[in-house]
Amino acid sequence: MGFDPRSTSGEEFQFNNLGWRNLITFAEAHGFRWPINAEGDEHEVLDATEAAAIAAAIELGLGHGSDVDTAAKVSEELTKLLVTPSVSPLFPTNPIRFDARGVEHWRQFVRFARGGGFSIQF
């Protein structure tokens, strides 16, 4: 299963579960908050302003370095955010792997999100 954002114009984008979780965690670390409704449920549709907000947060976090340097920075940041240090062999402390292709994929998503609102297809 994955997360497939679909723009209001019909354009689609794709993430696997892990990729989407990493992207959202990173965006939230840089100021984005996923919108929720009055009942506390997350929206499945982001309007153009909300889509621009997630794009801005990701762009802020990525910065302007080379894709290789940026990938190393994102890997380090995601590891700090998502890996709980432990001495137990049951809980690995390996860094979260992120490469230059991942950086380019996120940059493409930023362009997608700046194009307007989108819905999330599961």
Gap between the Cα atoms of 55 and 68, Å rounded: 20
pLDDT of 26-49, one tens digit each?
A: 999 999 999 988 888 888 999 999
Q: What is the 3-state secondary structure (H, E, C) of 19-82?
A: HHHHHHHHHHHCCCCCCECCCCCECCEECHHHHHHHHHHHHHHHCCCCHHHHHHHHHHHHHHHH
Quick one: what percent of the chain has pLDDT higher than 90? 73
Domain map (residue ranges) of the chain = 2-121
DSSP state of 90: T
The pLDDT of residue 114: 96
Q: pLDDT digit string (tens) for 43-91?
A: 899 999 999 999 999 999 999 999 999 999 999 999 999 987 777 777 6
Quote the pLDDT of residue 75.
95
pLDDT of residue 13: 94
- pTM of this structure: 0.90
- The per-residue pLDDT for 112 is 97
Helix (H, G, I), strand (E, B) or coil at 6: strand
